[in-house]
Structure 1
Amino acid sequence: MISGSLFRRFDRRSVLKAAVAAGVAQVASPFVISARADDTVKIGLDNPLTGTYAALGKNEQIGAQLAVDQINAQGGILGREVELLVEDSTSGDAATAVQKATKLVERDKVSFLLGNVNSALAQAIANYAFEKSVLHIVPGGHVDTVTGSQCHWNVFRVCNTTRMETNSVSKLLLGSYGKKWYFITTDYAFGHGLQAGFEASLKAADGTELGADLTPLGTTDFSANLIKAQSTNPDAIVLLLAGDDMINCLKQAVQFGLNQKFHIAGAQQELEVLMGLPPEALIGDWVFEWYWNQPGVPHVDQFVADIRKASGGKVPTARTWFGYASVQTCKLAAEKAQSLEAGKMAHALQGLELPPEVALMPNTAYYRAGDNQLMPTLFVGQSQQAPAGGDPADLFKVSQLMKGDEAALPVADTGCKMTWPS
């Protein structure tokens, strides 16, 4: 359950802007529809539909498809119908992900490329999209390099960087639980980035890193890692995992009774994970990148209702919103640029604010000029068992909201040296 007061302090100016824009759209739409072209605008989604991250990828697809349906009902993009083409990247094979991106771009002739949940795959796709000068929106791959040291003029990201996530929750952990931490980290770019961010926070606070275990993607048995962590007597065991790996580790931590002895915490948490846990394993402090229960925030209830209708009654997750916002970003870019040319659309997105019906959160969400990173609101809080008489999917209690640009490193410190085509 989320306190409504947390969500009433949203940017009312952006609501007024959206209302004006909506009025213009209503006037303009008949002319757009009458000029509809015969060909479609194709958006390619290159995301995991199998493997460890399948649930996350499928929820991003649900959000993306809702956006496509809504855009088509409103007249499409530049008067043309929108089509979503989906390819299974797998959960961890970069070669397959790039192969699928190549198919979408070179054979299917997509105007936009979306993906990936896996950070390493997201970066690989971004590098390919840069070579081909295709506008690429990264819905949910968090590694900092995407909008940092390997940033590209044509690549934009909806989800947070790992440093944004760790900065948003580190202060809470350091102030409430102590400065001796043990890390259990997934062994690829995403986990490495999260651990580096937490280590920076720990060092700044004169804390102590008691140990760190790197675990392969798809690990099912974390018993040895948890026993090692317990032996160091930490203030907090910090789990930097995702998907099925996080589910398995949390279940085993509770089975060993570690939650009764030490604090369990981490950075990014997902509703997909919490819904896969038994009630006793709904523990720990985390950050959500979007949450469905936001009392008083405009348009959120309608979005939740639309997703419930499209997904058999299930509430949207952050992944659902990632997919939705990514497709809506494609429309915003094209409509502002009045073009499907990648360079014009990329320039149009510099500093662009998401309208409230797309942002679906307090405060203003905007694409920061200089690194193309979305600056949204971060939701810091604790896992919880569903409140009695409440929605069974209300498994996270938000205790703090943080603006993205307060959690993010300055552009100058990200390593992004963006160059634009002449």
Structure 2
Amino acid sequence: MNKSFLTALCATGALMFGAAQAADGPSDGSVKVGVLTDMSGVYAAIEGPGSVIAAEMAIEDFGGEVLGQPIELASADHQEKADVASSIARRWIDRDNVDMIVGMVNSAVGLAVQGLASDKQTITMNTGAGSQELTESQCSKYGIHYVYDTYALPVGTATAMVENGGKKWFFITADYTFGHSLQKSTARVVRELGGEVVGSVNAPLGTNDFSSYLLQASSSGADVIALANAGNDTVNAIKQAHEFGIVDRGQKLAGMLVFLSDVKALGLETAQGLQFTTAFYWDRTEKSREWSQRFLDKHGEMPTMVDAGVYSATLAYLKAVEAAGTDEADAVRAELGDMKINDFFVTDGSIEPNGLMPHDMYLVRVKQPSESEGPWDLLEVVSTIPADQAYIATEDSACPLLGE
């Protein structure tokens, strides 16, 4: 053999060895998960410190390592700002070798981070934002929408209220992507059931005074005042509506996105009878009760559906890494698409090519004070909404990826 042939042969062998190493085990010596959330703002009670605890629990339950290497956790506060979230995500991916980002409550944040991460071939598992555009017009090969979306939320709540006489609807809407998407989806359900939308008004995120918006809604003649917002905005709007006697005068409130933490903040005296749709309630099954008690012991509060979703999504990701034998995004995404997800949060869940994870949703009712047997005994599950009814069908999706 001549010298040039030996050199080429050694180079080829080195490349093949390097490729084998890249496909076998974590690419940088560890697997790192990043929880990007609202730690101090309007959505902190929904998916803030609790979501970090949930991710820690998932890592702990998985065993703390995968493919023989440690699992690391990063967390940061996006401050409800898409530019801040994008800056953090860019640093995490480019400098800190974060392999998957979970959380991202706030749709503007979720869409921005999903777009940036996808350009960098990094998986995002959105558990907090609601906009269905995450899996529709702005879907991504690497973006997964896990807990709920604005298509699923109205299916139970709006249907129940229209069928019980709530034909005329007025919306108080959070003035950004999530709120507008939720209003659009809810209005579609209302109209399909023979109802009508008699008006709407937009309110800035983080509004403390809803009096002018509630006055417009009250004078509209609507049967139902729909709150297309979330977190502290929903809590403040419901409290002020009760102070103004709106419910006592016969109009109904519809919280289109309500969390357990909201009910706790409102108290049963104020929230009793409120119906809403959720992906999770801690007291639904033996498995959900067991995990939720562990979470309560660590956090001091019962989990929201987003907290539960962060745990489930993180655990599913780690299982996919293990099955793929690598943290390389394409291989892990393929495993996520093939697996069935079964835990206390979801039964027979599967992630579709557009990134949507359809699963059963639940219509719940807030208990009266006399019905409650404990500080967190707040809800009653009224009915189950099957996954194929709750979420948009794959064949009806507008995700561009599905046409490829």
Instruction: Assess same fold via TM > 0.5.
Output: yes
Deviation at 1:254, TM superposition (A): 0.4
1:177–1:263 contact (8 Å) kept in structure 2: no
Deviation at 1:319, TM superposition (A): 2.0
Match of residue 246, structure 1, among 221, 234, 247: 234
Measured in 2, the distance between the counterparts of 1:122 and 1:345 equals: 21
Supply the RMSD in Å over aligned alpha carbons: 2.1
Letter in 2 for 1:217: L
1:115–1:125 contact (8 Å) kept in structure 2: no
Matches of residues 140-155 of structure 1 in structure 2 within 5 Å? 140-155=128-143
Measured in 2, the distance between the counterparts of 1:298 and 1:374 equals: 23
> What's 1:265 paired with?
254
C-alpha change, 1:389 and 1:48, in structure 2 (3 Å) is: closer
Measured in 2, the distance between the counterparts of 1:77 and 1:170 equals: 43
Matches of residues 59-78 of structure 1 in structure 2 within 5 Å? 59-73=50-64, 76-78=65-67
The structure whose Rg is larger is: 2
Letter in 2 for 1:40: S
Residue segments in structure 2 that go unaligned for 5+ positions in a row: 1-24
C-alpha change, 1:371 and 1:390, in structure 2 (3 Å) is: same
Q: Is 1:50–2:40 an aligned residue pair?
A: yes
C-alpha change, 1:396 and 1:301, in structure 2 (3 Å) is: closer
TM-score with structure 1 setting the length: 0.85
2:156–2:276 contact (8 Å) kept in structure 1: no
1:269–1:287 contact (8 Å) kept in structure 2: yes
C-alpha change, 1:225 and 1:36, in structure 2 (3 Å) is: closer
C-alpha change, 1:315 and 1:391, in structure 2 (3 Å) is: same
Measured in 1, the distance between the counterparts of 2:403 and 2:334 equals: 10
Match of residue 416, structure 1, among 386, 399, 404: 399
> What's 1:31 paired with?
none
Measured in 1, the distance between the counterparts of 2:243 and 2:225 equals: 15
C-alpha change, 1:207 and 1:151, in structure 2 (3 Å) is: same
Deviation at 1:263, TM superposition (A): 1.3
Measured in 2, the distance between the counterparts of 1:237 and 1:352 equals: 41
Q: Is 1:94–2:82 an aligned residue pair?
A: yes
1:386–1:394 contact (8 Å) kept in structure 2: no
Matches of residues 180-259 of structure 1 in structure 2 within 5 Å? 180-259=168-247
> What's 1:339 paired with?
326
Deviation at 1:216, TM superposition (A): 0.3
C-alpha change, 1:332 and 1:359, in structure 2 (3 Å) is: farther
2:51–2:103 contact (8 Å) kept in structure 1: no
Measured in 2, the distance between the counterparts of 1:309 and 1:179 equals: 43
> What's 2:69 paired with?
80
> What's 1:319 paired with?
306
Q: Is 1:289–2:274 an aligned residue pair?
A: no
Q: Is 1:381–2:372 an aligned residue pair?
A: no
Could you give the per-residue CA deviations for residues 226-268 of structure 1, whole angstroms, max 9, x where no partner exists? Answer: 1111112211111111111111100000001111221111322
Could you give the per-residue CA deviations for residues 170-206 of structure 1, whole angstroms, max 9, x where no partner exists? Answer: 2211101321111111111111111001111122233
Deviation at 1:136, TM superposition (A): 1.2
Moved over 6 A (4+): 35-38
Measured in 2, the distance between the counterparts of 1:36 and 1:306 equals: 30
2:30–2:71 contact (8 Å) kept in structure 1: yes
2:171–2:225 contact (8 Å) kept in structure 1: yes
Greater relative CO (CA pairs within 8 A, separation 6+): 1
> What's 2:29 paired with?
39
